[in-house]
Amino acid sequence: MCQRDPIQCIIPPYITERLLRSDDAEVRARAEANITAAANMRAARARGRAAPSLMAPRAPAGGKHRLVYDANKCDKLPGVLVRSEGQGPVADPAVNEAFDHAGATYDFYDAVFKRNSLDGDGMTLVGTVHLVEPDGRGRFVPLDNAFWDGRQMAYGDGDGVIFQRFTRSLDVVGHELTHGVQSFTSNLEYEGQSGALNEHFADVFGVLVRQWKNGEKADRADWLIGKEVLVGAPTRRGVRDMEHPGTAFMGDRYLGTDPQPEHMSKLYEGQSDNGGVHINSGIPNRAFVLAAKTLGGNAWDVTGRIWYDTMLRLPKRCEFHECAELCVQTASALGADAARAVSAAWANVGVAAKVYA
């Protein structure tokens, strides 16, 4: 799922593939439907392919502009328009969550980085809720995922066994919309270490949107991605843990154990997941948290600024060590202490980045 063409999903292939091997026939059927749906979405998008900037509707007034659609229990995007900018809440919580979380993400980029939407030019934020998919047996089942398809967000309602509706999590929405920001900036190739960095920056700004919205300082925040989209169980805390990669879920009946490494010595070098884009992102994720905790205060103020400026400067194909070098260079503009903290954070996860004094 989500392997070749970058329809960028929050739930990675290693989770969906694990569900395919479940001892629960219903869970297996849903996983198959998820994989088929992703292939169909990619094919549909390939037929209508165009540059994101050509497809993106503009905000009429040039500022925040959101449109939320309801797929109406169908597998076609975008669906029926149910809430537009300026309209108040509706009865459906999924619609309001998609609307509010897209708004918080817009406000975060605007307030912290003076960025006007994903493209920097007032692009309308489009989201579709209640997306379903055919399960091959004549039924439609809720999508067990949320994704950015290059033009818009789409959210499923989850199976109620492992996943809940995907609009529940602000950091998931921030993550997916950051894929949009990246498509207009560094546009990191979605494969190998470049792809893991693409996932990494999406996690960084996803978690920062939440911390900013809730006023959480770096030393008090948790660094979990997607805890609200999981049905609660003692064996699962989130989809990823940026501070302690590899521990978000452990020994779970359905999910197994989180495969993310926290150090270069455990870099995944296989072919799955586009060369481990959702796996190896654990390494830079931990570097970011270490830097944020060392630099202290609000993670979005200093560390977030360093990472944002770095993201804008990265080449399309980029390895971890090149990203680390650029991060340290960017931090140097803020002083020697910042450069040393960022360099030490990367060194801690096994990525060398020199400080040029």
**What residues are annotated to the active site?**
176, 278
User: What six digits make up the tokens of 288?
Assistant: 């970011």
Tell me the closest approach of the beta carbon of residue 52 to Zn ion, in angstroms: 16
CA distance 207 to 201: 10
Question: Judged by CB under 5 A, does residue 3 bind Zn ion?
Answer: no
The nearer residue to Zn ion, 122 or 150, going by C-beta atoms, is: 150
Q: Residue 202 or 342: which CB sits closer to Zn ion?
A: 202
Give the range of 161-169, 180-188, 195-203, 256-264 binding Zn ion by CB under 5 A: 195-203
- Is residue 133 helix, strand or coil? strand
Long-range contacts of 31-36 (CB under 8 A, 24+ apart): 31/144, 32/135, 32/136, 33/133, 33/134, 33/135, 33/136, 33/141, 34/1, 34/133, 34/143, 34/144, 34/145, 35/1, 36/133, 36/134, 36/136
Structure tokens at 289: 């948290």
Q: Count residues contacting Zn ion (CB under 5 A)?
A: 3
3-state secondary structure of 79: coil
Contact yes or no for 166/156 (Cβ under 8 A): yes
User: Please, which residue, 126 or 202, has the CB nearer to Zn ion?
Assistant: 202
Minimum distance from residue 203 beta carbon to Zn ion (Å): 8
What letters, b where the CB count within 10 A reaches 16 and e where it falls short, cover 324-348? bbbbbbbbbebeeebbbbbbbbbee
Q: Which window, 6-14, 105-113, 220-228, 334-342, contacts Zn ion (CB under 5 A)?
A: 6-14
Q: How far is the CB of 10 from Zn ion (least distance, A)?
A: 6
Distances (CA, A) of 78 to 59, 75, 151, 168, 256: 18, 9, 10, 20, 33
Nearer to Zn ion, 199 or 252 (CB): 199
Closest CB to Zn ion among residues 202, 353:
202
Contact segment (CB under 5 A) with Zn ion among 65-73, 192-200, 279-287, 318-326 equals 192-200
Nearer to Zn ion, 118 or 295 (CB): 118
Indicate which single residue of 38, 141, 202, 224 sits in contact with Zn ion (rule: CB under 5 A): 202
From CA 91, how far away is CA 129, in angstroms rounded?
14
Query: Site map for Zn ion, 8-47, x if CB under 5 A?
Result: x---------------------------------------
CB of 202 to Zn ion, least distance (A): 4
Specify the DSSP class assigned to residue 4. Answer: S
Pairing of strands 80-84, 66-70: antiparallel
Shortest CB 53 distance to Zn ion, Å:
21
Applying CB under 5 A, the span of 31-39, 71-79, 149-157, 198-206 interacting with Zn ion comes to 198-206
Minimum distance, C-beta of residue 206 to Zn ion, in the bound complex (Å)? 8
Residue numbers of the site for Zn ion (CB under 5 A)? 8, 199, 202
